[in-house]
Amino acid sequence: MRLPPGWSVRRPGLDDVPAILAVVQASDIAALGHPDFGADDVREALTSPDLDPERDSWLALGPDGEVRGWSYLEDSHRGPRETVQVYVHPERGLPAQVPLLTMQLARSAERAAEFGHAGMTVRALALPGEERWIGVLRDADFALVKRYARMRRSLAGVPASPPSPPPGVLVRPVVATDDAELRTFHQILDSAFRDTPDYQPASYEQWRAQVAALPSVAWDEWFVAEIDGEPVGILQSADQTLDQAEGWVKQLAVLRAYRRRGVGTALLARAFACYAGKGRRYAGLGVDLSNPVEPVRLYRSVGMRPIYEAIVFERSIAAASDG
């Protein structure tokens, strides 16, 4: 499907962040009733080591030159699965929705060939109320595969000093200046997620590059849990929802042999206390509702509740051929 006459596309740059954010937030408000994306999220996407803005992202412009749509690819780690994101203004950008998706799928096929894969599994997210977008995905041969929940809890009344962890468990901030410590942090993260079916591993170097590309990192919000002096769990925070007065738990991981011993609860309690001490009003995270480890049960036990769910669609495409 082509863009209407007078429309055009071009590649994005950091100067486009305000215009992109206006489109994304208009889309969020139409679907959720409130913005759920900030300027740092846009910058993070455009500066991710997994994305080349000159090849992996597009802007759609209306006849007046206004940015009305944005699309990009994420989450590949050069692996055989990635996510396509397409945002359009809910009133002025709808004609760009299908063309942007089509161009990004073609780029995924190229990336599959570049990365040495026979094909690429492409995922796309939709909110339950985005019926038009869901229809576009189904017409493009995407099928529903799972759901994610966006969870949140209030930090009202949470003291800046966390409760004592279970006996034998110590929770401390990560030592960000110690490369060996960060390697251990990554090793726990990698090992703990190996038993989840959708996990795509990233090397330590890839992970460090992703962290280095973030607009900001509050290292004092990253924690390591030890049992009898042995690191067994980690919590990685992110600054992505500071505009919502929210601390964000990006990753929580506990080694299999040490689960159900209060480690995850202790890590969350420490993070919540840290966020509250900085004046945040909420703590938030996203969780895969199909994860067999069932982390959602842990999150509910510490007072977190879903504020919305996202539907995940998927399709496979063959790698592009030279011909």
The 10s digit of each residue's pLDDT in 205-215 is: 999 999 999 88
Question: Are 188 and 272 in a shared domain?
Answer: yes
Q: CB-based burial of residue 176 (10 Å sphere; 0-12 exposed, 13-18 middle, 19+ buried)?
A: middle
Q: Is the pLDDT of residue 323 over 70?
A: no
> Which two three-digit tokens encode residue 22?
């206006």
Q: Residue 290 — pLDDT band, cuts 50, 70, 90?
A: confident
In this predicted structure, the answer to whether residue 301 has a pLDDT above a threshold of 70 is yes
DSSP code of residue 173:
E
Give me the domain span that covers residue 36.
Answer: 8-140
More confident: 120 or 78 = 120
> Last residue of a domain, which of 113, 140, 167?
140
127 and 198: one domain? no
| CA 192 to chain CA centroid, nearest Å | 18
**Do both 206 and 297 map to the same domain?**
yes
Rg (CA), the chain: 20
Tally the domains of the chain.
2
Is residue 158 in some structural domain?
yes
Question: Average pLDDT of 219-244?
Answer: 95
With beta carbons less than 8 A apart as the criterion, state whether 207 and 271 touch. no
**Residue 91: predicted pLDDT:** 95
pLDDT of 195 reads 79
Q: Residue 273 in contact with residue 307, Cβ under 8 Å?
A: no
Q: Based on the domain organization, do 186 and 298 belong to the same domain? A: yes
Residues 99 and 202 in one domain: no
In a domain, 313, yes or no: no
With respect to residue 1, please indicate whether it lies within any of the assigned structural domains: no
pLDDT higher than 90, residue 187: yes
Q: What is the mean pLDDT of the chain?
A: 94
For residue 314, being part of any structural domain is answered with no
Domain stop point among 110, 140, 170: 140
285 in the same domain as 207: yes
Token pair for residue 323? 């011909």
Give a yes or no: residue 28 inside a domain: yes
Please report whether residue 217 resides in a domain.
yes
Residues 136 and 259 reside in one and the same domain: no
85: domain CATH number is 3.40.630.30
Closest CA to 84 of 115, 105, 114, 111: 105
pLDDT at 15: 97
- Are 160 and 303 found together in one domain? yes
* Shared domain check, 249 and 297: yes
Average confidence (pLDDT) over 229-250: 94
Query: Which of 140, 168, 203 is the endpoint of a domain?
Result: 140
Look at residue 88 in the predicted model and tell me its pLDDT: 98
Pairwise pLDDT comparison (285 vs 35), residue with the higher score: 285
Question: Does a structural domain hold residue 315?
Answer: no
Asked, for residue 64, whether it belongs to a domain, the answer is yes
Q: Verify that 124 and 219 share a domain, yes or no.
A: no
pLDDT band at 75 (very low <50, low <70, confident <90, very high): confident
The yes-or-no verdict on residue 303 having pLDDT over 60 is: yes
Do residue 159 and residue 107 come from a single domain?
A: no
Residue 1 has pLDDT above 70, yes or no: no
Confidence of residue 298 (pLDDT cuts 50, 70, 90): very high
More confident residue, 1 or 181: 181
Task: Judge if 81 and 185 occupy the same domain.
Answer: no
Half-sphere exposure for 172 (CA within 13 Å, toward CB): 13
